[in-house]
Structure 1
Amino acid sequence: MSNILTQAAGSRRGFLKVTGLAGLATLAATGTAQADEQMETTANPALAAEIAKLPRVKQVLVDPPFVPEHQQKAEGGPRVVEITLPIIEKKMQIDDDGTEIWALTFNGSVPGPMMVVHEGDYVEIKLQNLATNLMEHNIDFHAATGALGGGALTKVQPGEEVVLRWKATKPGVFVYHCAPGDIMIPYHVTHGMNGAIMVLPRDGLKDAAGKPYAYDRAYFIGEQDFYIPRDKDGSFVKYENAGDDMADALEVMRTLTPTHEVFNGKVGALTGEGAMKAKVGETVLFIHAQATRDTRPHLIGGHGDLVWEAGSFNDKPDTNLETWLIRGGSAGAMAYTFRQPGIYAYVNHNLIEAVMLGATAHVVVEGEWDDDLMTQVQKPAPIQAT
């Protein structure tokens, strides 16, 4: 394993090749070289001068499910949004039984933090690969244009940082993830290295009739599939260092059958004290991302009033959905105005994954009960003979 890690960390342009996926590695390496050359030959001083005149703002990242403070409608013209994103390799517990994984994280959380900008803004990411890490990393923004989503321009070894600027041209919600190349792409993503960014229209969201639409709260739910190796007795294995599980994890990953399917990094992360909060009458925007597998979000006791299932805010939202599909490698958004108090279960409606693998969250809603919407006419009692 030390040899594998040496290979992964020792090549500035190369990628780990432990399977036959040389095509992806070649594409990524070629894309890096071409992007570097293009940057050197087509630098635009006039454009750089114009961007330098734009106002700058630093976005303060917060741990999911929370979303950074933001204006739903942009004030003024485009800005340069500066975001510092450290990469942290850390051991995390993913269930109450003590199962562990050496997670590869953006900003120390699984999923990585939500970012929020407006259409036309420039996103300036300072990606930092901490010196305590063992692996090479980068970042691929599905919202960005060119250079493998920025992945070809952001490869950093432990102890390095890189700054990438890209323009947010497509309003919607999008996945970002690490994509070093070859088998390391799924390895890093299934070890937690993914998140989402929301690009709001400058004039805010619109409902299905094209009218302005606002939300009172927003939450980010990152669904994560984990593939934890077991020993000969069936117990989940623990490893001393990041990357030590590589050979074993790859075998589990090839089954395409996760051992855990969780929201926000751990079974039960969004229940109990971690449950999301709301009040009757409030409209809540839920952003749901899954970097690898299809999922079917469902709010038990509620509905998707407005659903941008494929994530594009340029498209008319669907209305009044019971369950919606988030395709693997994408994010979507749902808005709902709560009308009854209580605890709502927000689940992946593959109920095997929700109940048995961990893909369940709770929303605790405060307020007054409305008998017109629902009431218990008779309490449970013995069946009466007729």
Structure 2
Amino acid sequence: MFTRRTALLGAAFAATAPVLLGRGIAAASESMTPVGLPADLSTLTRRKVELVRPPFVHEHEQVAGTGPQIIEFTMTIREQKMVIDEEGTTIQAMTFDGSVPGPLMVVHQDDYVELTLINPESNSMPHNIDFHAATGALGGGALTLINPGEQTTLRFRATRPGTFVYHCAPGGPMIPWHVVSGMNGAIMILPRDGLKNEKGEPIRYDKVVYVGEQDYYIPRDEDGNYKEYDSPGDGYSDMLEVMNGLIPTHEVFNGAVGALTGDNAMTSKVGETVLIVHSQANRDTRPHLIGGHGDYVWETGKFNNPPEKDNETWFIRGGSAGAAMYTFLQPGVYAYVNHNLIEAVSLGATAHFKVEGDWNNDLMEQVSAPGPIPRG
């Protein structure tokens, strides 16, 4: 049914990207009004969770202490200019809660995720959210398409344990544009009895961090300098041309070059077990911890599958999230990289862990320091 709201959505697309008039309307046509018997959730308790900025993750229990609950989250869509490298290059980012990636949500299998999504009047475009963890209605995308000045609440049952991507999917070419402008994140659905190793034995982590890998496609002017725009829509046509070349200008962790290095490095200590959740909403990637390993790796991010062990590098498919667990054994700085080393070194896909503790010479020892080659 074509409604006034559908017309508004179509008009918003037309105003933002005139070249897409006709194709952009697909976003509005994908929206729907669900018809079905209401679910009776009156016996379930509700718990409100405040989301936090990655790489940090909100407090949660690794093993569910109760039966299924309704977990309430709120996210606000923020369109904002972001600096993404040391040269001051900017992007008119589209974000969930103001960060790239959006916050990691953590629930348990069979919990109900209830998200209130807010699109402030100050924004310029319609937005929605597609949960790869959800069932039906384009992952919720068809039920959550909202204009500036609107909000909506979506609830879905977390039926499958694992790590999953969520992203904006407003329709047509707008989908990749919103995703590579920063509008993606992840949700982790833990088994109710916690994580297990390949033998089915319980394993735990001391800390969880969230690394979201982001590819950007920033247009250049005739002199080769990166362009800057006053609003997301102003740069759409130029950015689409770069995107269609399939070669990113930047490949970064958590929104910008250096976002997880130097003073922003993640921290740990010898003997601490860290679970690293890594998502890439658009391109394949190959995480690697230099000087460490993946003790347990859920490469596809799905906890019903037994983890692989002792990986040097693992593979995260575009449009998915994976998880790796490692116990740090030596102090120092560990580089966590996309092991396409061109993307790590030249385009920015590098993070650091700063690990405190005592050195173990049994694991590694400098037998002799660098010095002149002996003569004779």
TM-score, normalization by structure 1? 0.92
CA distance in 2, matches of 1:17, 1:137: 18
* Residues 338, 350 of structure 2: 8 Å contact kept: yes
Equivalent in the alignment of 2:125: 135
Partner of 2:164: 174
Which residue number corresponds to residue 108 of structure 2?
Answer: 118
Gaps of 5+ in 2: 1-6
1:268 pairs with 2:258: yes
> 240-249 or 326-335, which moves further after superposition?
240-249
In the alignment, the residues of structure 1 paired with residue 268 and residue 22 of structure 2 have an alpha-carbon distance, to the nearest angstrom, of: 46
- 1:5-34 per-position Cα deviation (integer Å, ceiling 9, x unaligned): x9866369xx97846995x965x555433x
How far is the alpha carbon of 1:243 from its aligned partner? 1.5
Match of 1:43 in 2: 37
Contiguous gaps of at least 5 residues in structure 1: 1-5
| Superposed CA offset, 1:61-89 (max 9, x none) | 00000011000000110000000110000
Residue 3 of structure 2: aligned partner: none
Aligned pairs for 1:1-386 (under 5 A) are 10=11, 18=19, 22=23, 26=26, 29=28, 31-33=30-32, 36=33, 39-40=34-35, 42-44=36-38, 47-48=39-40, 51-385=41-375
Contact 1:208 1:318 in 2 (8 A): yes
Instruction: Give 2:4's aligned residue.
Output: none
After TM superposition, where is structure 1 displaced by more than 6 Å over at least 4 residues in a row? none
CA distance in 1: counterparts of 2:332 and 2:12, whole angstroms: 54
1:128-148 CA distances to partner (integer Å, 9 max, x unpaired)?
Answer: 001100000000000000000
- 3-state secondary structure, aligned to 1:213: coil
Q: Distance in 1 between matches of 2:192 and 2:59?
A: 16
SS at match of 1:188: helix
Q: Is the 8 A contact 1:172 1:313 kept in 2?
A: yes
Describe the shift of the 1:17–1:330 C-alpha distance in structure 2 as closer, same or farther (beyond 3 A).
Answer: farther
Give the total of aligned pairs.
370
Is the 8 Å Cα contact of residues 17 and 237 (structure 2) preserved in structure 1?
no
SS at match of 2:324: strand
Distance 2:355 2:123 in 1: 41
Give secondary structure in 1 for the equivalent of 2:233. Answer: coil
> For each residue in 1:218-274, what CA deviation from the matched residue of structure 2 results, as whole angstroms up to 9, or x when unmatched?
000000000000000000011112221000000000110000000000000000111
Contact 2:17 2:236 in 1 (8 A): no
| 1:209 Cα deviation from its structure 2 partner | 1.4
What is the CA–CA distance in structure 2 between the aligned matches of 1:168 and 1:268, rounded to whole Å? Answer: 34
**Amino acid in structure 2 at the alignment position of 1:99:** T
Distance (Å, rounded) in 2 between the aligned partners of 1:372 and 1:119: 42
Deviation at 1:384, TM superposition (A): 2.3
1:150 aligned counterpart, secondary structure: helix
Name the Cα RMSD after superposition: 2.1
- Check whether the contact 1:16–1:182 (CA below 8 A) recurs between aligned residues: no
CA deviations on 1:346-385 (whole Å, 9 max, x unpaired) are 0000000000000000000000000000010011111224
How many Å separate the matches in 2 of 1:87 and 1:9? Answer: 19
Instruction: Report sequence identity in percent.
Output: 60
The one-letter code sitting in structure 1 at the alignment partner of 2:37 is: A
For 2:139, what is the secondary structure of its paired residue?
A: helix
CA-CA distance at 1:208 after TM superposition: 1.5
Instruction: Using the TM superposition, give the Cα deviation of residue 193 of structure 1 relative to its aligned residue in structure 2, in angstroms.
Output: 0.1
Contact 2:10 2:25 in 1 (8 A): no
- Please state whether the residue corresponding to 2:208 is helix, strand or coil: strand
1:9–1:135 CA distance, 2 compared to 1 (3 A) = farther
Contact 2:115–2:153 (CA under 8 A) maintained in structure 1:
yes
How far the C-alpha of 1:200 sits from its partner, in A, is 0.3
CA–CA distance in 1 between the matches of 2:259 and 2:104?
Answer: 17
2:120, 2:150 within 8 Å by CA — same for their partners in 1?
yes
Do the aligned partners of residues 288 and 277 (structure 1) sit closer, same or farther apart at CA in structure 2, a change above 3 Å counting? same
